[in-house]
């Protein structure tokens, strides 16, 4: 991973990255593969946005890397779509697991369902099962690709298509469909017959770990089903929080 950057480097990268904001998702992906090669990868949870990106990537660069973080608490439906994607695209999915010793220590000390008891416990679980794992995965990359969209949640309204990830040493964070609306995502999935997580048809716009995600009702915020017992401003697991 890159080290923290000086102002001159930040300015140069901003000048290089910002024009990509007006490019299509496919153009942004093409640029990413040309610039970063194997040092760039999609970090996928196999949500609707991620399967769109996998389909695009398979058409542009079939050898593009796809990494997934298996927290150990995912839904069966998530594993099902993972296998469907593997079969359809012949994809080698780089599955990563959290440090078993740390998970064991946490669960022995605080129980299997610690996340319901306090925000601090929830963040600890996310750190042990996801954030530490993400940092391990990013340690071997210069760019990570995500399915973030501005319309998903209040904390993502400023998301650019290519940005400097200050929380991860200044590496590039690529969000090719940052400007897409949810209906564009669905249209792409249907038009290209992309396998998707069936939970999306059961009221789950956003899917994370099984015990921390529920279906939402009509009119609710798209991320209302994630950590539904918490305030909206707390609804990030630490994977996509950008330092000011």
Among all residues, which ones are annotated catalytic?
Answer: 237
Residues 69-98 that bind ligand SF4 (CB under 6 A): 71, 73
Candidates 11-19, 51-59, 122-130, 195-203 — which segment interacts with ligand SF4 by CB under 6 A?
Answer: 122-130
Residues 149-208 that bind ligand SF4 (CB under 6 A): 208
143-145 sheet: strands from edge to edge:
93-96, 65-69, 40-43, 143-145, 171-174, 162-165
Total number of residues shown for the chain: 244
- Measured from the CB atom, the residue of 32 and 213 that comes closer to ligand SF4 is 213
Q: How far apart are CA 115 and CA 125, in angstroms?
A: 7
Candidates 1-9, 100-108, 162-170, 209-217 — which segment interacts with ligand SF4 by CB under 6 A?
Answer: 209-217
Q: Confirm or reject binding of residue 237 to ligand SF4 (CB under 6 A).
A: yes
Q: Confirm or reject binding of residue 115 to ligand SF4 (CB under 6 A).
A: yes
User: Mask of contacts with ligand SF4, 24-63, x by CB under 6 A?
Assistant: ----------------------------------------
Identify whether the C-beta of residue 71 lies closer than 8 Å to the C-beta of residue 210. Answer: no
Q: Which residue has the tokens 């995912």?
A: 74
Q: Which residue is nearest to ligand SF4 (CB)?
A: 209
- Of 118, 110, 149, 130, residue with least CA distance to 209: 130
CB of 131 to ligand SF4, least distance (A): 9
CB of 122 to ligand SF4, least distance (A): 5
Q: How far apart are CA 49 and CA 186, in angstroms?
A: 9
Helices 76-89 and 48-60: angle between axes, nearest 10 degrees: 10
CB of 73 to ligand SF4, least distance (A): 4
Q: How far apart are CA 118 and CA 121, in angstroms?
A: 5
């Amino acid at each position: 991973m890159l080290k923290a950057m000086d102002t001159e480097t930040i300015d140069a990268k901003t000048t290089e990255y910002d024009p990509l904001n007006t490019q299509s998702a496919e153009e942004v992906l093409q640029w990413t593969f040309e610039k970063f090669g194997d040092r760039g990868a999609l970090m996928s949870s196999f949500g609707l946005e991620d399967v769109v990106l996998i389909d695009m990537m398979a058409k542009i660069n079939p050898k593009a890397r796809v990494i997934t973080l298996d927290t150990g608490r995912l839904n069966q439906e998530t594993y099902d779509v993972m296998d469907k994607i593997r079969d359809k695209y012949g994809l080698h999915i780089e599955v990563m697991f959290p440090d078993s010793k740390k998970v064991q220590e946490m669960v022995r000390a605080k129980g299997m369902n610690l996340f319901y008891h306090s925000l601090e416990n929830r963040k600890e679980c996310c750190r042990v099962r996801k954030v530490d794992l993400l940092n391990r995965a990013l340690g071997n990359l210069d760019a990570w690709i995500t399915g973030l969209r501005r319309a998903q949640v209040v904390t993502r309204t400023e998301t650019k298509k290519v940005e400097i990830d200050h929380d991860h040493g200044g590496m590039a964070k690529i969000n090719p469909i940052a400007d897409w609306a949810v209906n564009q995502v669905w249209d792409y999935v249907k038009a290209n017959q992309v396998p998707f997580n069936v939970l999306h048809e059961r009221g789950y716009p956003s899917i994370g770990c099984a015990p921390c995600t529920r279906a939402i009702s009509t009119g609710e915020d798209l991320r209302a089903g994630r950590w539904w017992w918490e305030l909206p401003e707390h609804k990030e697991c630490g994977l996509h929080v950008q330092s000011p």
